[in-house]
Structure 1
């Protein structure tokens, strides 16, 4: 018997004496009746008080509940999972009529396959946990939460026992405290194929430019086999060799020369022949090295003409310059970390995937890199930067906010809603949803006095939103949200529906954006767009999804608009934004003017006079930006703006660096000095010579350890240091480093996925109160290796769990014993 509120028993000490005193029989002839009444009152009051005290009577449960934990991690493999399920099915067939069973499937996480019940069947598994790890503790804790309270309880684990995350021992202690027994049936590890794994890959943390250094690699092979060894530096292949691997550990070195300064990432990939390797996950590793030397920058342009003058100017300023096309920009931050700054020269956002723009943003904000954007007719608003990660990174907004500067615009969206628009992009987003996002982004660029309409078509045409002013953008977006996909494709029906109304619109500029994935009858389409343009001044731009379309190209040409191929479907919203800006024809200003210096900045040190420019792209400066140069007109448009963005800096120059608008600048004697100072201002010059950073894995957490010395080699104490951590998916977090010993600072974070992490340590160092503070910065890399799941070896934790909870090891012959009553009965409390 147990009491939930024992203090309530104190009421008996107060109430019972009162009842006895008041009810004690005082008349002789009524004594028997009054005594019986008193006894009843005492009994009733005692029962009421016991109820308040929460009396529970423990009874041994007659039922037995068993939960099977099935390991579905890669180290067990599909054959092992099927073998485990067969054992569970065999056990369920002999389950007693009063018993119940549940099934949990686990890997890196745990999922309930079936709740605890008396059903004897178990079909194909529906649960699909992460197979790249084995978290036995998570599965045990989930099982403890599923057990019914009125049954004896047992857990049966079917696994190889190779724990890679969590603490199964701690979970077993919790199970023991709860009266739950853990037994296990060992499942053989997946050894269907021999393994080739990269056991180690390393490079020196720091290398001087021009110095030779070694990449060291260790490859473990279960059997002798041939293999290709490929090594990449910054994503580019630098070494490939066909080699013969001996059984056991194979150690190799590759000597390289630090020819280019900057943070360099190296990756090794081992490619064994098909059928000689079980897991691809352990065939690759990365490592990093910092090559110390001259600042190195990356110039990105869509053609040689745009970079014709800026590249030699930067070289004359003493910078190492690499040049690439937009498609060559890395899609991982590790690829950009080797550069001190990136210069985009008249690059439209349509030439940059969303991923590449996100990488640029992370590079500046979280790693402390520099970014300079040089304008031109395909940059900023006309380049589709609106509402992209690139706009967020720059000190200017792409939209001109002054309505009086922009002509009134009527814009019609003609959207394919056929069944094929229900197909999904690589990220899983349906095409029709991308179309809606694109329309909404375009609407955000419109002014309140502009007008817009949305029409869609399948086999027939529909109005989604009739022509209306854009004063209530949310209401218009709500109508856009009703777009769905189904049916055939009749582009002509959609164009005719819009054409009959747009010609009557009073706006100065009228424009149609057509989005389709094709497959329509071409008859009459080119003629219709040609007539709209020539006779009604209505322009038409077309966007083809996925493939080149001669029909849509001809329609755009006849309609006086632009033709776009959206090979990357995620670029469609950017194309819509670009078309919206281009339709106004009011974001590019071409006139001769001399920029006015409005703020002092190191970019302009030593420059006392500026030659005239012939044009620029209109933008709006952000509140926190410093506008250094402006146009000398009534609008005071920014020409040169800069700001601090996170750990890095970015600069926006709204004119160009070619003979179109900067013809007087490219022949100017200070051209190289101006651009050298501009780019160097974005380069983080903080010292890293006194920092030594390392990362060590401790269980599921990574510990960042930073040792700091002062200029004399002594410990640097009392510093304010923080680290920005960027994971392989571009997620970032900031952790504060706290001093734990002389000159040593530490912080911990929990890595979420395997792969390469970049860690940027930042702070300041002051030697004396009167001395100037010295910025400290170091970027280093750390690799969260592939899971222990793919390492091989290791001891099973299952015998320990059974020992802690008085469980037992089972075999395939006695799996039915899991329902034996050799378990301490569960004490079920009955009120």
Structure 2
């Protein structure tokens, strides 16, 4: 309880009270007091004091729904329930009645607030009821309705109900049976050139047992159609379906969905949907084939903008210009380490990476030890194997007269042992010299060692020793061989002519051909010369004086090289989630192991080897496709009509992780609320809008709510289509909000929207009853409202009373005292 004054400045007049007291000092103290109190009462009364105190109040608002969604019986029942509720209330002064649609009703002693709405905006009806409850008083809202609210805007009502402690009770009435209608329709992400899929939810089919037809029109031209058979929704209250549209060529496209009978004679519902096409995906293609850019662009279509990079990929490449990067069968030489590190940073910030190829990409290219390997969803482990490279051997045998007897036999035995060490893939030839030189066995594959040994056995000692031309002949025979190791094995007794062997042998050694020497016989005179020849030829020297000194000359050198991981054959791809196979097969793929945390999306049907694997890396996503999209593994795919679409989906699944701009809009009657999410590095985004009929764009002011979140409000009629586009200077994002997108036609309210009222009633503390007031709780006036009592009349009455008292006191006769005697 408190006192307030409407005119407090009149209190300044109280300063005259001391003067009144002082000037009236010739009067008695009682009379002066009466006059001062009288004057003070008049001054305080002129200040108009008001006593503020608390009183118990309760206000009841009954809302009557008479919209078309109710049956006639339900409308009549609602009126009866209304009268019953009013009859139970004694204080009609604190009662209001609201009626939504229908024929206005009359209530004796009460004014009915009528809202001739063609649609059941129950949220607005509750908002109006809340405004009728005085601030500070307890409230009881009673809604007589079927609950078919044609808009979902309950958030403000719920906030006010909870803040003010007002209860909303709902008496649920029966609604008319619904006919089939389109409850919801949305599309996949739309890009210029893409073929988006529409996902449609149909309700109101509980009691409908005939087939339906769903059609999509663009400017009255049919662009897609799908038949729905009644058996598909038997036992269900709703059905979801999808249909694919043709390639989108415009930035903004309006389509109309129509739901009709199968014969298209009766239309149940229609719904408009706007498609806002985003710019084409920007893809940086990194590959060895200069023609790959054109092939990839043709394969992916106009929904992608393919840009091929020059090799090696420069470290200053601006990856921010692209939404995804495709590395197609390249090794570490095409991707410098600094470039890889910057690419990793870009992926961590949201860039998508599509890593494809065969042996070079996953094995032989040396990427296993590179920084980029840590971002790949598969393991690049170079499995090594021991392999003996091919050998080409030219055996030069001295068959001159000095080799007669034991030396020639030793030479033949050395040659036979050397031949026996050769593999079928090796090459061998035998040159003999005895005054001249000739090929006893021309250079050939060592497929038949027995024939070679027989040729060696036919050699006979004769003629002189001319070694120099024999070495030249052997060199010319080995020069065109492609085996990794090439050798000349010289077997002689060292009784040869003097020549400039050093120059010849060093020349041969520079051509990666080694020359080894074998000295046979008991003579030791030529050891120094044979050792020098072997040294100049970068080979080895052997001395065999008899059978007990025999050595086996093995010219093979085992080498370690990566084991092939390429699998060739006919392989089928299987989707791991749906177990759906692809209609085309692979001819080859790289066999690798997935990372433990990676997701295998496609695998080989029989072996389970991963063929498409993916995982998150930072804010981006990386996928690996274990074959070359344009190579031998996918040769048969080029004739598959859906190959481009399939490959595009693998790439777009990466780009969804990188959203520089995300534009969302939501209508609330005649206001459009817009939210723009931007990447962390975006500083000054811009937002523009225009209506469908307008040619020019209008700037819209953005309010920054957080470093990456902006908000804008646009006041515009609910019946207007709004087109939006946002930009950060590099990227562009489009969105559209169709007319009345937040309003559902009468009798076409989705189950999702109709359930919102139940939640609001529950959260406000109210109850939901089915067609009866029997258990409707009463609301006690526990909340104390504030009331004001004016003290002005009382003070005036007190002043008047004091005036009469002072007058009587002044006129009242008094006794006189004369010389001490009362008269």
- Shorter-chain TM-score category? 0.3 to 0.5
Provide TM-score, normalisation by structure 1: 0.38
Using structure 2 for the length normalisation, give the TM-score.
0.39
